[in-house]
Amino acid sequence: MSDNLDALSRALPRLLDGLLITLELSAGGALLAFVVAVGLGLMARLDNILLRGIARTVIEFFRGTSLLVQLFFLFFVLPLPPMNIELPAVVVGVLGLGLNYGAYGAEVVRGSINAVPAGQWEAATALSLSPAQRLRRVIFPQAWALMIPSLNNLLIQLIKGTAVVYLITIVDLTAVFNDLRQETRDVFFTYSLALVVYFAIAYAFSGLMTLLERRAKHRLGQSGRAVGARGAIA
Amino acid sequence: MIDNSPWNWDHVWAALPDMLRTFVTVTLLVTIIGSVIAAVLGLLLELLRRSVPRPVAGVLTFVMNFIRMTPLVVQLLFIYFAFTSIDPLIIGIVVFGVHYATFMAEVYRAGIDSVPPGQWEASTALSMSPGRTWAAVIVPQAVRATAPALGNYVISMFKETPFLATIAVIDMLGAAQAYGGSHFRYIEVITVAGVLFLIASYPTSLLVNRLEKRLAFA
The pLDDT tens digits for A56-104 are 999 999 998 999 999 999 999 888 776 788 889 999 999 999 999 999 9
- pTM, to two decimals: 0.88
From the CA of B125, how many Å to the nearest CA of chain A? Answer: 32
The pLDDT tens digits for A183-197 are 888 999 999 999 999
User: Which residues in chain B have their CB less than 8 angstroms from residue A150's CB?
Assistant: none
Cβ pair B95, B76 in contact under 8 A? yes
Set out the domains of chain A in order of their start, with CATH numbers. Answer: 2-219 (1.10.3720.10)
Interface of A with B (CB under 8 A): 60-61, 63-70, 72-73, 76-77, 80-82, 156, 159-164, 167, 174, 177-178, 181, 187-188, 191-192, 194-195, 198-199, 202-203, 206, 230-234
The count of residues in chain B is: 218
**Contacts for B70 with CB less than 8 Å, ≥ 6 apart:** A160, A195, A198, A199, A202
* C-alpha closest to that of A204 among A25, A27, A12: A27
pLDDT beyond 90 at B79:
yes
pLDDT of residue A232: 38
Q: What is the distance between the alpha carbons of residues A147 and B155, in angstroms, rounded to a whole number?
A: 22
pLDDT beyond 50 at A226:
no
Cβ pair B192, B176 in contact under 8 A? yes
> Contact B81/A232, CB-based, under 8 Å?
no
C-alpha gyration radius of chain A: 21
Cβ pair B33, B97 in contact under 8 A? yes
Mean pLDDT on B90-106: 96
- CA dist B20 → A34, B15, B87, B167, B175 (Å): 35, 9, 21, 20, 9
pLDDT of residue B147: 83
Q: What is the distance between the alpha carbons of residues A215 and B1, in angstroms, rounded to a whole number?
A: 60
> Contact A195/B149, CB-based, under 8 Å?
no
- CA dist B163 → A69, A153, B18 (Å): 10, 20, 18
ipTM of this complex prediction, to 2 decimal places:
0.86
The pLDDT tens digits for B11-42 are 888 889 989 999 999 999 999 999 999 999 99
From the CA of B86, how many Å to the nearest CA of chain A? Answer: 15
A-B Cβ pairs (cutoff 8 Å, strict): 138
The count of residues in chain A is: 234
Mean pLDDT on B53-72: 94
pLDDT of residue A230: 42
The residues spanned by each domain of chain B are 9-216
**In which band, very low, low, confident or very high, does the pLDDT at B216 lie, cut at 50, 70 and 90?**
low
Give the CATH fold of the B9-216 domain: MetI-like fold (1.10.3720)
pLDDT of residue A194: 95
From the CA of A222, how many Å to the nearest CA of chain B? Answer: 23
